[in-house]
C-alpha cells in the first residue's frame, strides 16, 4: 500500500512477509480472508488492506487491539485519545511479526464489527517492497450499516424470504447483495491500485 501523500516518510525495505487470517467474529458460517502483507506497512496501512479485502467502505472509525495496547487513527488535528496510540507510527514488524499472535480489529463502533486476526506465518520478504495480496477467503462481508450481527442475520433471513413490507424494504435496501460471493482476483486487482 502506498504511504499517504501528506507524510514524507521513507519506507524501509520489508524484512518479512506476514501471512494473516482475518475472521469476522460471531458470524456462522464464517466470513474470512487470508492475506500476505509486508512487515514494513504501518497499522494504518493494514487498516486499508483490511477494508479492501473484507469489502468494507472505510466509512466508520476503527481500532486495533494488540495485547493491552489500543491503536487508532488521529483526528483532524493530528491527535489521538490519550489511551490510544497512533497507528501511523507503528510498523507491522514491531507490532505483530510473531507467528501465532492473535489480535483484534474493530470497524464501525456502532455496528461493532469485530475481526480476529491471526499471524499464521512469518517468512523472509520476497522483495524489498512486496505488495499485499489476498490469497483466499469465503463469503461477502455484511452490508455497511446493517445493524451489526443481529442486523446481518435479519438481512440473511430477508434475502431468503421477505414476508412483510418492512422485509421487502430491507431487501430493496441491500440491493443485489450476494452473501456467499467472494472474488479474490477482484480484490487483488483493487489492492494494486
**pLDDT, tens digit, 9 for 90 and up, residues 39-52:** 999 999 999 999 99
Instruction: Please give the Cα distance from 39 to 46 (Å, whole number).
Output: 10
Average pLDDT, integer, range 123-132? 93
R_g over Cα of the chain: 18
**pLDDT at res. 138:** 98
Average pLDDT, the chain: 91
The β-bridge relationship of strands 85-86 and 69-72 is: parallel
pLDDT at 77: 67
Q: Which three cell numbers stand for residue 25?
A: 467474529
Torsion, Cα 176 45 13 67, to 10 degrees, reads -120
d(CA 163, CA 12): 56
Predicted TM-score of the model (pTM):
0.90
| CB 60 within 8 Å of CB 34 | no
Residue scoring higher pLDDT (48 or 2): 48
- Does residue 107 register a pLDDT over 90? yes
Amino acid at each position: 500500500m502506498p504511504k499517504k501523500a501528506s507524510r514524507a516518510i521513507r519506507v524501509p525495505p520489508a524484512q518479512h512477509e506476514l501471512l494473516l487470517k482475518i475472521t469476522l467474529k460471531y458470524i456462522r458460517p464464517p466470513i474470512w480472508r487470508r492475506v500476505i502483507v509486508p512487515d514494513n506497512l504501518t497499522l494504518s496501512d493494514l487498516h486499508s488492506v483490511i477494508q479492501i479485502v473484507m469489502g468494507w467502505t472505510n466509512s466508520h472509525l476503527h481500532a486495533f487491539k494488540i495485547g493491552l495496547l489500543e491503536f487508532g487513527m488521529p483526528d483532524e488535528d493530528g491527535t489521538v485519545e490519550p489511551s490510544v496510540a497512533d497507528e501511523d507510527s507503528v510498523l507491522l514488524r514491531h507490532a505483530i511479526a510473531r507467528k501465532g499472535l492473535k489480535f483484534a480489529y474493530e470497524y464501525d463502533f456502532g455496528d461493532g464489527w469485530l475481526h480476529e486476526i491471526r499471524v499464521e506465518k512469518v517468512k523472509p520478504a520476497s522483495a524489498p517492497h512486496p505488495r499485499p495480496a489476498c490469497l483466499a477467503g469465503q463469503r461477502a462481508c455484511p452490508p455497511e450499516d446493517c445493524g451489526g450481527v443481529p442486523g446481518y442475520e435479519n438481512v440473511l433471513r430477508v434475502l431468503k424470504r421477505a414476508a412483510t413490507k418492512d422485509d421487502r424494504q430491507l431487501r430493496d435496501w441491500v440491493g443485489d447483495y450476494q452473501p456467499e460471493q467472494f472474488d479474490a482476483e477482484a480484490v487483488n486487482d483493487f489492492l494494486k491500485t
